[in-house]
């Protein structure tokens, strides 16, 4: 047990370390100077620009040797300091990200979990009859093959513009400031629905397919045959097959996380949903290296934590891994 998790943790730590390093390296060794951009946007008089340029250079600690910058970067990180945003100067990156984070949780967790449960249930259901299978299978494949943004665009167009059922931009009405009132909560949900739906649908397809294939394999396995030979009702056999097929689906969830993040990113862009994905786009368009770094780190941390959570769940639900590990220590 210990060994297993120790191993996993090691991997995650190394990953984190590398990620942070990459994250730090890229902006510094790529062309273009953030401060130039900041000054460029300020539209200053030439005479003053020169002074302000050097002022910013040290304000962002870009005037010290590279290796020192790297160390500073780490020590700052460990103090929860992600630097200052260029795009939203002079706000601290961490503040901007924390403001966006709730929206991501609010959007992603339900989308991921619900699609996972629903998809698995549905896939198992589909595996029952040939007819169902033939209708569901193509549908599922089409859904998984749909680019997140395209589905988003279609939904926004259909329900936001053509039928005008749902708003398709922002997290709540422009006419409101955040507040604990039913009107506001309703507005939140209204704006939440379309992005949620497009994420949900694409993922749903994937899980349904996955489960369907898994079940088919399971129903072909020996224990299934044996139960049949003992005249066990299909219900029981399916139950077992489903339980066993779920396990790989849990690992699948871990493997999918990266893709899901990407999906969330573009979905937020399509719907101007103020999560981290949307921040990333803004950071890119406004060349806010520091914000971009911050977002990337948050995504990494999120993904790593999710992975670890999944590892734990897996161990909890699959007796084999558990026993295997007890054997180890």
Partner 1 sequence: MTETKKKNEFLYFALRNNKLRIGMSVVLLFVVLAIVGPWVTNYLPRQFVAPGTQPPSSEFWFGTTTFGEDVFTQFVYGLQATFIVGLLGGGLGTLIGILVGFIAGYRGGLLDEVLNMMTNIVLVVPSLVVLLIIAAYLEVRGLLLESVFIGCFAWPWAARAIRAQTFSLRSRSFVDLARLSGMKPLRIVFTEIAPNMMSYLLLVFILQFGGAILTAATLDFIGLGPTKGISLGLMMHNAVQWGALILGMWWWFIPPGLAITAIVGALYITNVGLDEVFNPKLREM
Partner 2 sequence: MWWNKKKFALFTMLTLLVVVGLVGVLAQAQTFARNETLYTGGKQWGPASNWNPLMTGNYATGTLGLCYETLFLYDPLTDQFIPWLAESGKWMSPTRYELKMRPGLTWSDGTPLTAADVVFTFNLGKTATLNFSSLWDWLESVTQVGNYVDFTFTEPLYQEWANYLYTVPILPEHIWSSRTPIEVATGANDKPVGSGAYLYYGYDQSKMVWVRNDNWWAIKALGYSVAPKYIVDLVNTSNENSLGLVLQGSEDLNNNYLPGISTLIQGGYGLSTYFPGPPYHLPANTAWLDINLQKKPLDDLAFRKALACAIDVNDIVTRDYGNMVEVANPTGLLSVWDKYVDQAVVDKLGLSYDPAQAKKFLTDAGYKDIDGDGFVEAPDGSKIALKIIVPNGWSDWMAAIQIISNGAQAVGINLEPSFPDFNGYLDARLNGTFDLAIDNQSQISNSPWSYYHFIFYDKLADIPSTQGGNYGRYNNQAAFDLVTQLDKVPVDDLAGMQAICSKLQTIQLTDLPIIPLWYNGAWAQMSNRYWTNWPSSAEGGDHYFPLTWSGYWNMTSILMLVNLEPAQ
Partner 3 sequence: MSLRVENLTVTYRTLRGDVRALERATFGVGDGEIMGIAGESGCGKTTLGTSLTLLKPPMRFVEGRVTLDGEELPIWDTEAMNASRFRKVSIIPQYAMNAMNPTRKIGKMISELLRAKKADQKTGLRELRRRLELVELAENVLTMYPFELSGGMKQRMVMVLSTLLNPSLLIADEITSALDVSTQKAVAEMLVGFRDHKIVKSIIVITHDISILYQIADSILIMYAGQLAEKAATDVIIGAPRHPYTKLLISSLPKVGVKYSEQRLAGIPGSPPLLLDPPQGCRFRERCPVAFDRCPEVPPFVEVEKGHFIACWKEPVTHA
Interface with partner 1 by CB under 8 A: which residues?
Answer: 11-12, 14-15, 18-19, 22-23, 26-27, 30-32, 137-138, 141-142, 144-151, 153-154, 156-157, 160-161, 209, 213, 216-217, 220, 255, 257-259, 261-262, 265-266, 269-270, 280-281, 284-285, 287, 292, 295-296, 299-300, 303-304, 307
Spatial separation of the C-alpha atoms in residues 275 and 101, rounded to whole Å: 6
Radius of gyration of the chain (CA): 24
Binding site for partner 2 (CB under 8 A): 31-33, 36-55, 59, 85, 87-91, 98-103, 105-106, 109-110, 113-114, 117, 161, 169-171, 173-181, 183-185, 188, 272, 274, 282, 285-287, 313, 316-317
Handedness of CA 70, 72, 76, 78 (dihedral sign): positive
Question: Which range of residues in 54-62, 95-103, 174-182, 220-228 is near partner 3 by CB under 8 A?
Answer: 220-228
- Shortest spacing between CB 326 and partner 3, in angstroms: 10
Q: Are 115 and 200 in contact (CB under 8 A)?
A: yes
- Shortest spacing between CB 103 and partner 2, in angstroms: 7
List the structure tokens of 207.
Answer: 């899980």
Contact pick of 64, 74, 228, 258 for partner 3 (by CB under 8 A): 228
C-alpha triplet 71, 286, 100: angle, nearest 5°: 75
- Shortest spacing between CB 206 and partner 3, in angstroms: 23
232 binds, among partner 2, partner 3, partner 1, none (CB under 5 to 8 A by kind): partner 3
**Residue 180 burial (C-beta neighbours within 10 Å; 0-12, 13-18, 19+):** exposed
316 binds partner 3 (CB under 8 A): no
Spatial separation of the C-alpha atoms in residues 271 and 201, rounded to whole Å: 16
CA dihedral 189, 192, 197, 200 (to 10 degrees): -110
* Of the candidates 208, 194, 120, the residue with the CA atom closest to the CA atom of residue 157: 194
C-beta of 91 vs 221, nearer to partner 3:
221
7 upstream amide cis, omega within 30 of 0 = no
131 binds partner 3 (CB under 8 A): no
C-beta of 175 vs 230, nearer to partner 2:
175
Q: How many CB atoms lie within 10 A of CB 108?
A: 24
323 binds, among partner 1, partner 3, partner 2, none (CB under 5 to 8 A by kind): partner 3
List the structure tokens of 287.
Answer: 């060349």
Q: How many CB atoms lie within 10 A of CB 210?
A: 22
C-beta of 94 vs 250, nearer to partner 3:
250
- Shortest spacing between CB 220 and partner 3, in angstroms: 12
Q: How many CB atoms lie within 10 A of CB 63?
A: 12
- Shortest spacing between CB 45 and partner 1, in angstroms: 28
78 binds, among partner 3, partner 2, partner 1, none (CB under 5 to 8 A by kind): none
C-beta of 14 vs 176, nearer to partner 1:
14
Q: Are 155 and 198 in contact (CB under 8 A)?
A: yes
Q: How many CA atoms lie within 13 A of 62 on its CB side?
A: 20
259 binds partner 3 (CB under 8 A): no
């Amino acid at each position: 047990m210990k060994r297993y998790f120790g191993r996993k943790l090691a991997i995650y730590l190394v990953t984190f370390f590398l990620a942070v390093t990459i994250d730090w390296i890229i902006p510094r060794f790529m062309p273009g100077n953030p401060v130039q951009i900041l000054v460029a946007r300020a539209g200053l008089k030439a005479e003053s620009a020169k002074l302000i340029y050097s002022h910013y250079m040290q304000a962002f600690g870009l005037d010290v040797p590279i290796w020192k910058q790297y160390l500073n970067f780490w020590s700052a990180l460990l103090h929860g300091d992600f630097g200052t945003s260029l795009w939203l100067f002079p706000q601290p990156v961490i503040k901007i990200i924390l403001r966006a984070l709730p929206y991501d949780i609010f959007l992603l967790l339900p989308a991921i979990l619900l699609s996972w449960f629903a998809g698995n249930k549905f896939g198992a259901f589909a595996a029952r009859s040939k007819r169902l299978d033939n209708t569901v299978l193509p549908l599922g494949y089409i859904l998984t093959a749909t680019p997140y943004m395209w589905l988003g665009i279609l939904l926004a167009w259909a329900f936001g513009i053509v039928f005008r059922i749902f708003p398709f931009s922002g997290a709540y009405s422009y006419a409101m400031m955040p507040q604990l009132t039913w009107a506001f909560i309703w507005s939140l949900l209204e704006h939440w629905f379309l992005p949620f739906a497009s994420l949900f649908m694409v993922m749903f397809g994937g899980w349904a397919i996955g489960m369907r294939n898994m079940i088919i394999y399971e129903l072909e396995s020996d224990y299934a045959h044996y139960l049949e030979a003992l005249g066990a009702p299909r219900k029981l056999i399916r139950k077992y097959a489903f339980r066993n097929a779920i396990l790989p689906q849990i690992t699948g969830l871990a493997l999918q996380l990266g893709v899901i993040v990407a999906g969330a990113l573009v979905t937020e862009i399509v719907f101007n949903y103020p999560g981290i994905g949307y921040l990333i786009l803004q950071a890119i368009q406004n060349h806010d290296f520091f914000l971009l770094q911050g977002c990337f780190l948050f995504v990494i941390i999120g993904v790593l934590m999710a992975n670890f959570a999944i590892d734990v769940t897996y161990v909890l639900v699959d007796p084999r891994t558990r026993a295997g590990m007890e054997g180890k220590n």
